[in-house]
Amino acid sequence: MRRSFDYTPSAATPANSGASPSIGGDVTWFPTLRFGIEVGGEYQSWLKILDKYPSVESDLHASLVARLPLSFGNVYLRVGGFRQSYTVTDDGTATRQNLTFPDAVYVGARAGADVSVDLTPKLVLRVGADYRLVASITGGTYAITYRDYFPRAKAGPAFDGAVSLAYEVTKNLQLLIGGDIRRYMISTGSQVGDRINASDATDQYLGGWLGLAGTYGGR
């Protein structure tokens, strides 16, 4: 996963970016043919910013899912909630607040759809996207709305998207490869004289991954 936090205008202050391995998973249960529940997330806690400040990144989500079987595959519609977090703690020197980017914690609702297409009897392409309605950006010790960052900030548009290929190794086991993106826009509300003079900020997460999927009771 690669994370970048950029300001507009770009000359306002240097952007922050970093990459780190992460782990994650999803579970979907369909008690009926058409309706189910999906929960999942990811986590990393081993990246240090500037080799000093420990960071923790997580993304948790849960949704109600409706499945529409079609001749070419399936369409999945979902609605639920999420909590995306990227926080950085102090290293004991009380200098964390000097970094040019805040902690980012987003909580809200999520709605979208996936389409899966059976390319061959063993290969399935899946593409999906969601709109993320951010209800809160106040989380974290050094929150976006912290006094040294953007106390007048407001959440803007946000979305996520993903694409993956699944290869059937056995009837109930698939090998997965894919990529995803999450992107949040923030209206900073900064004014002349503020420590960071930027009108907007963009928080983006790009991921590429390999995985295994197990299926019980059919696909």
Query: How does DSSP assign 50-76, residue by residue?
Result: TTTEEEEEEEEEEEEEEEEEETTEEEE
Question: How far apart, in whole angstroms, are the C-alpha atoms of residue 195 and residue 12?
Answer: 10
The per-residue pLDDT for 57 is 97
The per-residue pLDDT for 176 is 97
Question: How far apart, in whole angstroms, are the C-alpha atoms of residue 165 and residue 127?
Answer: 9
- pLDDT tens digits for the chain (219 residues)? 999 999 998 776 777 899 999 999 999 999 999 999 999 999 999 999 999 999 999 999 999 999 999 999 999 999 999 999 999 999 999 999 999 999 999 999 999 999 999 999 999 999 999 999 999 999 999 999 999 999 999 999 999 999 999 999 999 999 999 999 999 999 999 988 888 989 999 999 999 999 999 998 865
Cβ contact 184:132 at 8 Å: yes
Domain ranges of the chain: 2-8+22-214
Cβ contact 90:53 at 8 Å: yes
Identify how many contiguous H helices and E strands the chain contains and give both numbers: 0, 12
pTM of the predicted structure, to 2 decimals: 0.94
The per-residue pLDDT for 11 is 72
Architecture of domain 2-8+22-214: Beta Barrel (2.40)
The per-residue pLDDT for 192 is 85
The per-residue pLDDT for 218 is 60
Q: Residue 13 in 3-state DSSP?
A: coil
